[in-house]
Amino acid sequence: MYTEIILAGFGGQGVLLIGKLLAYAGMKDGLEVTWMPAYGPEMRGGTCNCTVVLSDRQVGSPISRNPHGAVVLNLQSIDKFESTIRPGGIMVVNTSLINRAPLRRDLIVVPVAANQIAQEAGSAKAANMVALGGFLGASRVVDLDLVKATLAETFAGRPKIVQLNHTCLDKGFAIGQAVAAMPPGR
């Protein structure tokens, strides 16, 4: 297993956090992992992205020209990364902020109205968790329970936050799972 995932949005959406959660859960699952944030001038102007590699063998490059999967939380991010994803890859699209359809026909697209779902669950700030859930449901790259346990550790002592984030992960997961269950060619 060697999976490269890019997570992208604007600063403040919690893109780096969900990347770290993914990496942390992967590490707990016994995988070799890397988490690499973009920290260059593209960060100015508000964009934000990180690359997570999950592998059963030593990780080489921590960055990828053609990732296996992507979680894109805003329009700028889908514009930048959609074309780079490998054919057959998973792309989680935050439809709350992305108002165009994907251009690629060869990806497994998981549309999540992340902001809306998070708002209904208690706070739009947890939109990132809905998106992460969507990716986990479609890819099964790490166990959802492991991610939830990691999150609970990260926010230990703040049960309401943990509850909100878990709910959002679940809702996203269900969407991702449903997409993955659909026959190909849709």
Partner 1 sequence: MAKKLMKGCEAIGEAAIQAGCRLFFGYPITPQNEIPEYLSGRLPQVGGTFLQVESEVAASNMLYGAAGAGCRCFTSSSSPGISLMAEAMSYIAASELPVVFVNIMRAGPGLGGILPSQADYRQATKGGGHGDYRLLVLAPSTVQEAADLTMEAFDLADKYRSPVLILGDGLIGQMMEPVEFKRRIEPEDLPAKPWATTGAQGRPPNIINSLYLNPEDLERHNWALAKKYQAMASEVRYETYLADEKLDVLVVAYGSVARIARTSIDALREKGLKVGLFRPVTLFPYPSDALAQTALRADRVLVTELSTGQMLDDVRAVVAGRRPVEFFGRVGGMIMSAEELAEQVEAIAAVPV
What is the number of other CB atoms lying within 10 angstroms of the CB of residue 141? 21
Nearest CB to partner 1, comparing residues 35 and 135: 35
Nearest CB to partner 1, comparing residues 59 and 75: 59
Min separation Cβ 26 and partner 1, Å: 9
CA distance 130 to 34: 22
CA distance 114 to 156: 24
Nearest CB to partner 1, comparing residues 20 and 166: 20
What is the three-class DSSP state of 54? Answer: strand
Nearest CB to partner 1, comparing residues 2 and 79: 2
- From residue 20, alpha-carbon distances to 32, 52, 125, 151 in Å are 13, 8, 17, 10
Nearest CB to partner 1, comparing residues 63 and 101: 63
Min separation Cβ 34 and partner 1, Å: 5
CA distance 165 to 122: 9
Nearest CB to partner 1, comparing residues 50 and 97: 50
Extract the tokens encoding 133. Answer: 């859930």
Min separation Cβ 20 and partner 1, Å: 7
Extract the tokens encoding 95. Answer: 């439809």
Min separation Cβ 178 and partner 1, Å: 31
Give the number of residues written for the chain.
186
What is the number of other CB atoms lying within 10 angstroms of the CB of residue 47? 17
Min separation Cβ 33 and partner 1, Å: 7
Q: Please say whether the beta carbons of 43 and 80 come within 8 A.
A: no
Using CB under 8 A as the criterion, which residues of the chain lie in contact with partner 1 when the complex forms?
Answer: 20, 23-24, 27, 32-37, 39-41, 58-66
Min separation Cβ 4 and partner 1, Å: 9
Q: Please say whether the beta carbons of 6 and 70 come within 8 A.
A: yes
